[in-house]
Structure 1
């Protein structure tokens, strides 16, 4: 698993968010998470940024 994926997974874990929920919140199909994680597909920069945006959104929602 790449460092980018590991970092994203760690960020999600620290926030108490399932990674596939962050993808979905960011407008990325949530099934991509497992493909990214098992290495069958590499995330595009656009998809990863959208997933991170989804994570931020979920964190903000939890904080409110």
Structure 2
């Protein structure tokens, strides 16, 4: 069985997740150690990421999203560290 990967769909879903969390693609790229121009080439289909590079970007984004979620929870008074 062959698994099909849609780069355009994966990028679109990734950007949507970042946008919902209030995080820019530029920031996620910076955290992952890739140039924003690399992202632009992936998005246009000029090049494709290696699996290892895509995983670095995903990991960086997940860490940023988790951090943003914690900041929102703390601002709302839902900080788990101070909960009874």
* Length-normalised TM-score, structure 1: 0.77
In the other structure, the counterpart of 1:4 is 10
Secondary structure, counterpart of 2:39 in structure 1: helix
Of residues 26, 37, 47, the one that matches 2:32 is 26
Cα offset for 1:40?
1.1
Higher-Rg member (1/2): 2
Cα offset for 1:55?
0.9
Tell me which of the two structures has the higher relative contact order, counting C-alpha pairs closer than 8 angstroms and 6 or more residues apart. 1
In the other structure, the counterpart of 1:59 is 65
Structure 1 stretches lacking a partner, 5+ long: none
Structure 2 stretches lacking a partner, 5+ long: 1-6, 72-84
Q: How many residues align?
A: 64
In the other structure, the counterpart of 2:46 is 40
CA RMSD of aligned residues (A): 1.7
In the other structure, the counterpart of 1:16 is 22
In the other structure, the counterpart of 2:56 is 50
